[in-house]
């Protein structure tokens, strides 16, 4: 992120001044190549956060008024200005703009060997209103009416067709909040050709719940709907929080859950606290439920995996150009006296579990239960049964759940493990045998003697 050259650090890289230069504030182009080569040597795929949706208004060091006019690369007049971002909007109907942007894609792939792109601001590109003041209901007239910018749609189709033809292993991800159909279907099918879309409603939902509701009032059906509301056979990147949630003015998930005691009771040597116990438990459950139910790829962001305590901020006039919050406190993770390590242990274990039972490659889960009074969610995916108990104080014995496949089951993963700062109350050795009693629309069922606590 923030790789393309930008003059204003506080823009987080989204006010690009030079599309063909890696930002000099991070080092030389050779340093970036070395970083990517090292990642590849370790089996890590590297994607570039790409801003082709708009450009900086800067005249001296940007494309704006490149030839003395305001329409060389951009739309003329007010149409060429994004009113919220205060930036210039490309005219995708101009042949030279297409040449410029497509060659930009080739340059980053050929010169730096990136593995693909996350296209920023796709919603702004797709619609003439740029999504400003517009709430998408999902009605098809919103996606195929006069508000759609057909020239931008054609550019995105061209970009994806070119990338996937020239670089067969390329990965492209769209940041889109509108839910436009066929965004992630191949161009030859009439789609826009992306491989994944970002599940942007998911982190918004978690932050909304933490802001507006006590966890005992959370609606299980609403959570399940948000996590499963995605286009059929269009792959989704799911995540719990990003810079949209963790920037100044908001809080990280961990901070929303535990800010009352995060500066005082995160030591292993403190007496156990209900706030910290509850916060750590919910942080684990939020991440695991999102990971297993909400998509075909999973994203961690800026310390989310170990519960970073504080927000992000960038030097700007409003904070007297301070760098104080322009960092992640990785030292907290590596302090063995603090509890952050347990959240990170849980993250590592989640990924190992997915490697052994690849649910991300499996069809969307079948949710058999979202019980509002019990606060229990049950679903099946990748031949596993997932049980989440969000009730603030109840555990359940002899809790019967339905499932599709008969056989013998055992617990292979629980958030209550001591390694994850749990209480080790779940018996991982007990074998659960199904009976031919259908329940919740499934053919079989068994009783869970102790559901997840």
- Cα–Cα nearest to 133, from 145, 123, 122: 123
- Dihedral pair phi/psi, residue 57, rounded to 5°: -80, -5
The contacts of residue 428 (CB under 8 Å, 6+ apart) are 410, 411, 412, 414
Active-site entry in 5, 70, 149, 175: 175
120 belongs to the catalytic site: yes
Using an 8 Å Cβ cutoff, are 401 and 439 in contact?
yes
- Dihedral pair phi/psi, residue 359, rounded to 5°: -70, -25
Using an 8 Å Cβ cutoff, are 171 and 45 in contact?
yes
- Cα–Cα nearest to 339, from 257, 247, 238, 244: 257
Q: Which residue has the tokens 């409603």?
A: 201
Question: Per DSSP, which regions of 114-201 are E strands?
Answer: 116-119, 171-174, 196-198
- Dihedral pair phi/psi, residue 373, rounded to 5°: -75, -45
DSSP codes joined into one string, 73-104: SB-SGGGGEETTTTEE-B-TTSHHHHHHHHHH
Please name the helix (run of DSSP H) or strand (run of DSSP E) that holds residue 445, with its range, or none: strand 444-448
Per-residue buried b or exposed e for 229-256, using 16+ beta carbons within 10 Å of the residue's own CB: ebeeebbbbbbbbbeebbbeebbbbbbb
| Strand 384-389 relative to strand 376-381, pairing | antiparallel
Active-site entry in 120, 305, 416, 417: 120
Using an 8 Å Cβ cutoff, are 351 and 359 in contact?
no
Report the alpha-carbon distance of residue 354 to residue 360 in Å, rounded: 8
Catalytic positions, please?
120, 175
């Amino acid at each position: 992120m923030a790789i393309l050259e930008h003059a204003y650090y506080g823009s987080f890289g989204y006010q690009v001044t030079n599309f063909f230069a890696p930002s000099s504030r991070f080092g030389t182009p050779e340093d970036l190549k070395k970083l990517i080569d090292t990642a590849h040597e370790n089996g890590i795929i590297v994607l570039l956060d790409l801003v082709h949706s708009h450009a900086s208004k800067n005249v001296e060091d940007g494309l704006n008024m490149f030839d003395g006019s305001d329409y060389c690369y951009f739309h003329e007049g007010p149409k060429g200005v994004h009113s919220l971002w205060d930036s210039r909007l490309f005219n995708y109907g101009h042949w030279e703009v297409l040449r410029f942007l497509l060659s930009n894609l080739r340059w980053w792939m050929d010169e730096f060997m990136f593995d693909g792109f996350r296209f920023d601001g796709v919603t702004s590109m797709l619609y003439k209103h740029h999504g400003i003041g517009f709430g998408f209901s999902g009605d098809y007239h919103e996606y195929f009416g006069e508000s759609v910018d057909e020239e931008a749609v054609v550019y995105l189709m061209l970009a994806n067709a070119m990338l996937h033809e020239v670089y067969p292993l390329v990965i492209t991800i769209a940041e889109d909040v509108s839910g436009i159909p066929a965004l992630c279907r191949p161009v030859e099918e009439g789609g826009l050709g992306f491989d994944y879309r970002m599940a942007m409603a998911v982190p918004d939902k978690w932050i909304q719940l933490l802001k507006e509701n006590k966890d005992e009032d959370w609606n299980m059906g609403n959570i399940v709907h948000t996590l499963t509301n995605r286009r059929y056979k269009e792959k989704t990147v799911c995540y719990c929080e990003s810079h949209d949630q963790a920037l100044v003015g908001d809080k990280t998930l961990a901070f929303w859950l535990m800010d009352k005691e995060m500066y005082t009771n995160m030591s292993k040597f403190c007496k156990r606290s209900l706030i910290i116990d509850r916060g750590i438990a919910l942080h684990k459950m939020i991440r695991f439920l999102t990971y297993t139910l909400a998509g075909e790829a999973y994203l961690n962001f800026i310390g989310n995996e170990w519960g970073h305590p504080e927000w992000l901020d960038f030097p700007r006039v409003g904070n007297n150009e301070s760098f104080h919050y322009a960092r992640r406190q990785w030292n907290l993770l590596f302090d063995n006296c603090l509890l952050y390590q347990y959240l990170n242990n849980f993250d590592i274990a989640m990924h190992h579990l997915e490697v052994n039972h690849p649910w991300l490659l499996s069809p969307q889960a079948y949710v058999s239960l979202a019980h509002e009074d019990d606060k229990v969610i049950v679903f099946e995916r990748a031949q596993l049964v997932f049980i989440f108990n969000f009730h603030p104080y109840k555990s359940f014995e002899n809790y019967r759940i339905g499932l599709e496949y008969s056989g013998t089951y055992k617990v292979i993963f629980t958030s209550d493990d001591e390694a994850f700062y749990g209480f080790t109350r779940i018996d991982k050795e007990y074998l659960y045998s199904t009976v031919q009693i259908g329940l919740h629309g499934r053919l079989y069922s068994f009783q869970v003697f102790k559901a997840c606590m």
